[in-house]
Amino acid sequence: MCTDGLDPRYLEDAFARDLTPRIRELADHGTFAIADAQVPSFTNPNNLSIVTGASAAVHGIPGNHYLAPDGDEVQLVEARFLRAPSIHASFAEAGVAVLAVTTKEKLRDLLSAGGVPVVSAELADRQSLDGVDPVARLVDRPKPGIYDWDCSHYALELALELADRLGTELLYVSLTDFVQHAAAPGDDLSDRYLRRLDELVGSFVERGWRLGLVADHGMNAKGGIDAPDVRYLGDALDDAGLTAHVVLPITDPYVVHHASLGSAAWIHVDNGDVERARQIVAALDGVEDVLGREEAARELELPEDRIGDLVVLADASTALGGREQQHDLSQLHGALRTHGGRHEQRVPVVLSERVAVPPDLRNRDVHELLIGAR
Q: What is the pLDDT of residue 173?
A: 98
The three-class DSSP label of residue 277 is: helix
Flag whether pLDDT at 258 surpasses 60: no
Average pLDDT over the chain, rounded to whole?
A: 94
pLDDT band at residue 256, thresholds of 50, 70 and 90? very low
Q: What is the pLDDT of residue 358?
A: 94
Q: What is the pLDDT of residue 325?
A: 85
- Smallest CA-to-CA distance from 3 within 35, 40, 29, 39 is with 35
pLDDT band at residue 201, thresholds of 50, 70 and 90? very high
Q: Which residues pair with 320 in a beta bridge?
A: 231, 262
Flag whether pLDDT at 314 surpasses 60: yes
> Is-contact 67 308, C-beta < 8 A?
yes
Give the span between the Cα atoms of 126 and 121, in whole angstroms: 10
Give the span between the Cα atoms of 145 and 152, in whole angstroms: 10
User: What does the pLDDT look like over 49-93, one tens digit per residue?
Assistant: 999 999 999 999 999 889 999 999 999 999 999 999 999 999 999
Q: What is the pLDDT of residue 255?
A: 57
Residue 220: how many other CB atoms lie within 10 Å: 22
Helix (H) or strand (E) holding 126: none
User: What does the pLDDT look like over 89-144, one tens digit per residue?
Assistant: 999 999 999 999 999 999 999 999 999 999 999 999 999 999 999 999 999 999 99
CATH number of this structure's domain 8-219+340-372: 3.40.720.10
CA separation, residue 88 to residues 47, 98, 210, 230 (Å) = 13, 6, 16, 39
Domain ranges of the chain: 8-219+340-372, 230-338
In CATH, 230-338 is 3.30.1360.110:
yes
Flag whether pLDDT at 168 surpasses 90: yes
- Smallest CA-to-CA distance from 155 within 268, 2, 26 is with 2
Give the span between the Cα atoms of 204 and 65, in whole angstroms: 34
Give the span between the Cα atoms of 183 and 284, in whole angstroms: 28
User: What does the pLDDT look like over 213-230, one tens digit per residue?
Assistant: 999 999 999 986 667 899
Give, in degrees to the nearest 5, the angle at Cα 138 between 137 and 141.
70
> Is-contact 41 218, C-beta < 8 A?
yes
Average pLDDT of span 9-31: 98
